[in-house]
Structure 1
Amino acid sequence: MTNERVTDGRRIGELLASEVTARADGLLSTLDVVDVDPDAEGSDSGTFAYTITTDGDEVTQLADVYIHTDRARLEFRAGLDAIPSVSEEANLRARPKAVAPPRVLVFLEDGGEIKRVLDVIRTAIAATHNES
């Protein structure tokens, strides 16, 4: 086993997409990755890579994923009230984005944070089910 950290934004985005689509049980089994830009390259301001959706009664866009040179950024559209506290509990950096409609940003600064962001994604899924 290696002690190297994955800090390349494109690679973090790829690992997250693999983790999201590989789940076959629980809330995470409803996830899909859509609108994938296979040519997306990390940039300082972030480049759109794909959207994470959940398929409940209808397809809901949970978050857009952007890749930077040194991290990935999720822009959540669902579960906005709960995401900051769940992110903090998972030791992930998060902040609101002042746009209309509002969003919450969660940053993945290394590949080891992918497993921890799954709790945040579960929170967003649960919020979409409660809104129905």
Structure 2
Amino acid sequence: MVEDRITDGERIAQLLASELTGLDVEPLEGVTVVDADRDVSPSSDGPVAYRIRHRESYVGAVRLYPDGARLQLTVTDDTVLESVDERHRELTVIEGRSGDIGGEFHSTSAIDRESYSDDVLTVQIASGAAVKPALDVVRDVLEQT
């Protein structure tokens, strides 16, 4: 049994980048990690570790916090937001606006449903084990856009 959980935001962001670029199946084909800042350190400001492109468009960014990472996806279609929200209802709801860290990170991924008004879907990733559910959200968003 594994006793150590990966909760370092930088390591979580690295795991997510590997998943995003390592799976050569639709809809993740054509996903690249760009504008990576190798010198970035987690902080309460949530600096951008890297941006995510899908083919020719920027689709999101990953920010680093001391207790995890946040994946921010740009979603301008309310229908897509509603569909993703419904499909991932099991993910923990967190309060606060996009970029507002407030509260504790959970052991799973969480969708910040308050950030919808900013056309940004925020997924909180609190551990290495939460990378897979976050990747599922990326897949759903890409399939529908």
Length-normalised TM-score, structure 2? 0.76
Q: Check whether the contact 1:83–1:104 (CA below 8 A) recurs between aligned residues.
A: no
Once the 2 structures are TM-superposed, how far is the Cα of residue 93 of structure 1 from its aligned partner?
Answer: 1.3
Unaligned stretches of 5+ residues in structure 2: 93-108
Match of 1:50 in 2: 50
Structure 1: any 5+ residue segments left out of the alignment? none
Deviation at 1:62, TM superposition (A): 1.7
CA distances 1:57-101 after superposition (whole Å, capped 9, x unpaired): xx122211101011100111034333333333355311232665x
Partner of 1:121: 138
**Counterpart residue number, 1:34:** 34
Report the TM-score, using the length of structure 1 for normalisation.
0.82
Distance (whole Å) between structure 2 residues aligned to residue 38 and residue 30 of structure 1: 22
How far residue 30 of structure 1 moved from its aligned partner, in angstroms, is 2.1
> What RMSD, in angstroms, separates the aligned Cα atoms of the two structures?
1.9
Change (3 A) 1:33 1:103: same
Quick check: 2:91–2:111 contact (8 Å CA) kept in 1? no
The 1:86/1:53 distance shift into structure 2, 3 A limit, reads farther
Letter matched to residue 137 of structure 2: V
Instruction: Extract structure 1 runs of 4+ deviating beyond 6 A.
Output: none
Task: Identify the residue that residue 127 of structure 2 maps to in structure 1.
Answer: 110
Question: What secondary structure sits across from 2:85 in the alignment?
Answer: helix
Q: How many aligned positions are there?
A: 124
